[in-house]
Amino acid sequence: MATITTTSNANLLNTEFFGRRFIERLHAEVRLIKLARHEDAPHSSGKVVRWQYFANPTAATTALSEGADPPLSTNVSTTTVTATMSEYGAYLEPAKFFISTAASGTKAEIVDISAYQAALTLDTLCYSQALNDTTLGAVTPAAMTADIIRLGVLALKDANAKPHPETPGGKYFAGVMAPEDLFDMMGESTNYGGAQVPTWQMAKTTD
C-alpha cells in the first residue's frame, strides 16, 4: 500500500503576504518617493552613491569659415553629488498570546503601522537633509505666499533646473509643503476685479 505524505507551506505564504503588504504600504506612505529618482544600487558596490550632473554649455555664437571645423572643443563643467547609505530599523514584538487571541486582521494592522514608521523615518531623514543642503529663498518665520513660490521657481529656472517628469505634462516643478504653509496660502487674497479673491483661485483662473 502506497503512503502519500503531504507538506504545507502555508507559513511561507503567510510570510510572503505580509512582506508584500509591508512594501506596498511603505511605498504608499512615503511622501517624497514621488519626487525621487528611482535607481537600483548594484550589490557589492559599496555604501557611497554618486551622481554626476553636467552644466548647460553656453551658446556657440562665433560664425565658422566655410568648410571649417570649430576651432575649440566645448568645455562642460560638472557637479558631483555623493551620498552615503545608512541602515535604519525598528521592530514590534507582540506576544504570541496576543496574536492568537486578537481579532482577525490585527496582524495586518501591525504590519501597516510598521510600514508607516518606516515611511516616516525615510521622510524625516530626507527632509532634515534637505534643510541642511538647500538654499532658502525666504526667511523661515515668513508666511508662505505665492510670491515666495514664484521666487523659488525663478531660482530653479535661473539654475536651468528641469521640470519634474511626473508632473502633468512633465512641465512643472514639484515641491513638498507643510500643512501650515498650505493654510497660509489658502488664506492669502489679492484684489482682482475690485474684489478680494484667494490668490490660488486667481492663479487658476488666469492660468
31 in Cβ contact with 176 (< 8 Å): yes
Alpha-carbon gap, residue 202 to 186, rounded angstroms: 11
Question: Which residue type is seen at 131?
Answer: L
Q: What is the pLDDT of residue 200?
A: 55
The three cell numbers locating residue 5 = 505524505
Q: What is the pLDDT of residue 183?
A: 75
35 in Cβ contact with 130 (< 8 Å): no
Q: What is the pLDDT of residue 59?
A: 86
Q: What is the pLDDT of residue 1?
A: 45
Provide block-wise average pLDDT over 10 residues at a time, the chain (207 residues): 47 68 84 77 86 83 88 86 87 80 81 90 84 60 70 81 84 80 71 60 46
Q: Where are the alpha helices (DSSP H) in the chain?
A: 10-29, 96-101, 106-133, 146-158, 179-186, 199-206
pTM value is 0.61
The three cell numbers locating residue 43 = 550589490
